[in-house]
C-alpha cells in the first residue's frame, strides 16, 4: 500500500510537468512552422526522449520536428525545435519551459543551462549525422556535458525521423485549401 501511495504521489509531482510541456510543444509548432499543415505525435517515444512531434508541409514532406526530454536529476524538461533547410537541419530553439518549477536548482546552475541553450540555437546539423550540433568544449563541467549530450541525442533522432518519417497518425493544424 505504501508503494502504491508513493507511486501516486510521484506521478502527481512529476507527471504533471510532462503533461504541461506537451501544449507548449504544440504552440511552438504553430509559431515556428508557417508552412506546416499537419503534425504527427508519438508520446513515450524512448527511454530518454519523452515526446516527439514531426511537422509536415502541404506536400506531406517532413519539414521539422519538436522533441522534449526530462533532464534528471533536476526534474525540468528540455524542448528542442529542429527545422529542415534543404540538406541541412537547424536547431531553431532550445527551451526549458518548466525550469522555474525546479526549486532546488541554484541560480548559478540555471545560468549554465541558459549558456548551453545559447550555444545550441542556430547550429546546423548535416543530414549524414556525422557532425554533432553541440560539442562539450574543453573545460565544460559534467553538468554542461550532460545537457549537451541530451541536445545531441534529440537532434540526431529528429534528423533520422524527418528523413524517413514513420507512419504515425497526422493531426491537421491548417487547411490545405489555399
Predicted confidence (pLDDT) per residue in 44-59, tens digit = 899 889 999 999 999 9
The answer to whether the Cα torsion of 11, 73, 47, 52 is positive or negative is positive
Confidence of residue 171 (pLDDT cuts 50, 70, 90): very high
Residue 167 lies in a domain: yes
Residue 178 lies in a domain: no
What radius of gyration, in Å, describes the C-alpha atoms of the chain? 17
Look at residue 24 and tell me whether its pLDDT is greater than 90: no
Residue 177 lies in a domain: no
DSSP state, residue 16: H
Residue 23: which residues within 8 A CB-CB, separation 6 or more?
A: none
pLDDT at position 142 is 76
* CA–centroid distance for 91 within its chain: 10
The mean pLDDT value of the chain amounts to 79
Percent of the chain with pLDDT over 90: 35
Reported in sequence order, the residue ranges of the chain that DSSP labels E, i.e. its strands, are 38-43, 51-56, 62-71, 76-85, 88-95, 124-126, 170-172
Residue 141 lies in a domain: yes
Look at residue 133 and tell me whether its pLDDT is greater than 80: no
Q: Which domain holds residue 62?
A: 2-172
Helix (H, G, I), strand (E, B) or coil at 36: coil
Residue 161 lies in a domain: yes
Q: What would the pLDDT profile of 59-113 be if each residue is shown by its tens digit?
A: 999 999 999 998 877 788 899 999 998 888 999 999 998 888 877 778 888 888 8
Residue 143 lies in a domain: yes
Residue 12 lies in a domain: yes
pLDDT at position 59 is 92
End-to-end CA gap in the chain: 58
Task: Report yes or no: 57 and 36 within 8 Å, Cβ to Cβ.
Answer: yes
Number of domains in the chain: 1
Residue 45 lies in a domain: yes
Q: Whole-prediction pTM value?
A: 0.80
pLDDT at position 2 is 33
Task: Report yes or no: 36 and 55 within 8 Å, Cβ to Cβ.
Answer: yes
CA dist 163 and 165 (Å) reads: 6
Amino acid at each position: 500500500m505504501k508503494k502504491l501511495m508513493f507511486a501516486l504521489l510521484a506521478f502527481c509531482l512529476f507527471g504533471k510537468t510532462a503533461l504541461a510541456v506537451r501544449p507548449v510543444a504544440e504552440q511552438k509548432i504553430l509559431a515556428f512552422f508557417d508552412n506546416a499543415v499537419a503534425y504527427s505525435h508519438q508520446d513515450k517515444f524512448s527511454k530518454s526522449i519523452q515526446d516527439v512531434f514531426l511537422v509536415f508541409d502541404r506536400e506531406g514532406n517532413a519539414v521539422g520536428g519538436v522533441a522534449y526530454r526530462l533532464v534528471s536529476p533536476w526534474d525540468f524538461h528540455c524542448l528542442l525545435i529542429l527545422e529542415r533547410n534543404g540538406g541541412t537541419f537547424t536547431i531553431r530553439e532550445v527551451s526549458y519551459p518548466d525550469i522555474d518549477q525546479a526549486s532546488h536548482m541554484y541560480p548559478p546552475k540555471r545560468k549554465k543551462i541558459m549558456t548551453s541553450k545559447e550555444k545550441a540555437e542556430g547550429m546546423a546539423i548535416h543530414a549524414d549525422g556525422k557532425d554533432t550540433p553541440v560539442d562539450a568544449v574543453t573545460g565544460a563541467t559534467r553538468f554542461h556535458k550532460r545537457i549537451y549530450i541530451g541536445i545531441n541525442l534529440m537532434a540526431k533522432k529528429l534528423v533520422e525521423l524527418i528523413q524517413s518519417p514513420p507512419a504515425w497518425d497526422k493531426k491537421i493544424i491548417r487547411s490545405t485549401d489555399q
